[in-house]
Amino acid sequence: MKKTLLLQAQYNQLANTNMFATFKKCPKEVLYKDCGLYYGSVMQTAEHILCGDIGIVLGAFGAFAPKKLEGVEEIFASVTSKQRLQSAIYEDISAFEALRSKVDSKIIALIESIEDFESIATLSFPGVEFKKSRGFFILALLNHATHHRGQIAAALDILKIENDFNGMLG
């Protein structure tokens, strides 16, 4: 399970790097304009992915590691109580990208540190509770990012912005 999760996390890291390279070629107003995605704009969708990775993967799933990862408190401080990025990070694509990169590296470090992927864990949201193996939860959240990057790629396609950041073959 660890090898599979590491492959998916490394793929996410590459896809996120390539996604931000695409963003840097786009007019900022296009990225931040509501284009009908579930979360509104391209950047709001990217924010949703990142906040999920911070709050759930590094936050909740960080408890699966034998010891706390170093440097995560600074990452947690970048998210508001409403699970949004601090505005200074959200509005600055370079700061947003730097945080995304840092989180991707921490996710890989977290997976590398976990030894037990089979124990059953509980993940709760208001009104719903899930009980699954640790590995299942991590894989589900890593795939969550792929799902939303697909939405971003489709939105960019509709806007006639060339993009090919999400390919699994690199």
Is 48 known as a binding-site position? yes
Query: Is the distance from CB of 136 to CB of 122 less than 8 angstroms?
Result: no
Angle at 53 between CA 50 and CA 59, to 5 degrees: 130
Residue 32 neighbours by CB under 8 Å, 6+ apart: 41, 42, 43, 44
Is 147 known as a binding-site position? no
What's the CA gap between 11 and 15, in Å, rounded?
6
Query: Is the distance from CB of 83 to CB of 66 less than 8 angstroms?
Result: no
What's the CA gap between 132 and 138, in Å, rounded?
10
Q: Which helix (H) or strand (E) holds 121?
A: strand 120-125
Q: Which helix (H) or strand (E) holds 149?
A: helix 134-158
Which positions make up the binding site for a divalent metal cation? Answer: 48, 144, 148
Which positions make up the binding site? Answer: 48, 144, 148
